Chains A and B, each alone.
Chain A
Amino acid sequence: MLEKSPLLTLLDILSLILIAGALILILFFTPLERVMGPVQKVFYFHVASAWAGMLSFILGAAAGAGYLITRRDTWDALSLSAIEVGLVFGLIAILSGMIWAQPIWNTCWVWEPRLTTTAVMELIYLAYFILRGGLGTPEIRARLSTVYAIISVITVPLTFFSIRLFRTIHPVVIAPGSDSAFNMTPRMLTPFFISLVTFTILLIDLVWHRTRLAILQIENQKEGR
């Protein structure tokens, strides 16, 4: 049996407190955006979950590289977990974006670079699980799916920069020194960064849990044979 690390328990509690804190902060203490109104508050969680999704896809590729170098199952488990969690965060980002876009753009979906690349990124990582499901032995499964995870990580920067490369209606948030950047007051900027930190910690916590589960699965399979 795998022992649960006390640090993980600490992360559990920390992410619970942070989520509750961020929710209260965003719901009651951030100023209302003058034009968009309360729906603008989706933004804090939307950007944070998109950020967490991309981060975990990068983590998935990095762990995949770790597997190819060391050939230890733990790295593959981490890669799988990061991609699975990232898929969920990406979905949250898309759905929360739709909630915001419905009143603001008057449609929940437009075919423009950022939305399309994000959706394609989700499809690419969905295919990762189809690939995994079709591979026979655990060794081949781990080896081939990590290769795929590393190749597909190029879509992450493509998605991130899509609103900077092409002209689109998606707002650019992180663009220091440019006119098109979001102008946020400090009262909006602080909760924004807090929600970024919250989602990052939640991401680490979830990936860790999922990795533990994956390692247990691997051990279980080995004992079964």
Chain B
Amino acid sequence: MLVFALLIVFLFHFSLQLAPDLQAGLAFAATLGLNRSISLEQESRALDGLLLTPVDRSALYFGKALSNFCFTFLVALVLMPVFSLFYQQNMLRLPLLLVLALGLGTYTGLGTLLACLSVQTRTRDVLLPILLYPLALPILIAAVEATRGVLSGLPLGEMHSWLLMLLAGNILFTAAGLLFFETILEE
């Protein structure tokens, strides 16, 4: 609990100071989805059935990550008009969608992997945020900075270092997922 509280302090420091709460809200929402996506498989031992299918384990990871990404992105899409209304700013812009897609892709890629880790522990749901938030903090900062840039009307070229960071995180964590998924789900 103490560690969780500390993490929230760190998260809030960045999100509240750097204007858009959008990314932090999505990060919290995604955590709930991530937890559900894996624990659902465990409840009725559906995971064992999945593991028996004659496909590569990395395909399972990719499928899980992709579905998590799609659901979170959907939430983001619904959230945008709401945010536009409350913040009096047009959020439905193409660059912003790109930033969101990159950020959420990285976040869910890492989150899927860590959810598979945390679901095997006794503490389960509590553990995922503790593992995920600090590791995802650089991604979150990059996403928030890029979002802020887009909202203040900067061209995408101005923020290429943040976008590059998101892209690098995307590749890195997806690669880590493909690499370690088999080890994590070993019986």
Contacts and interface: CB of A to CB of B under 8 A. Distances in A.
Contacts of B17: 111
Given A147-B117, A147-B184, A136 B122 contact: yes
Contact of B134 (A124, A134, A136): A124
A41 interface: no
Contacts, number: 69
A41 B3 CA distance: 32
Contacts of A131: 117-118, 121, 127, 131
Interface string A149-165: 01110110010000000
Contacts of B113: 151
Nearest to A146: B183
Interface stretch (B6-14, B59-67, B95-103): B6-14
B130 A127 contact: yes
B122 to A, nearest CB: 5
Interface in A45-84: 68
A120 B134 contact: yes
B120 interface: yes
A29 B113 CA distance: 52
Contacts of B7: 123
B3 A123 contact: yes
B3 A127 contact: yes
A130 B123 contact: yes
Interface in B117-141: 117-118, 120-123, 127, 130-131, 134-135, 137-138
A134 B123 contact: yes
Given A119-B10, A131-B131, A147-B117, A68 B183 contact: yes
Contacts of B127: 130-131, 134
Given A120-B134, A134-B127, A151-B180, A144 B120 contact: yes
Contacts of A143: 183-184, 186
Interface of B: 3, 6-7, 10, 13, 17, 110, 113-114, 117-118, 120-123, 127, 130-131, 134-135, 137-138, 172, 176, 180, 183-184, 186
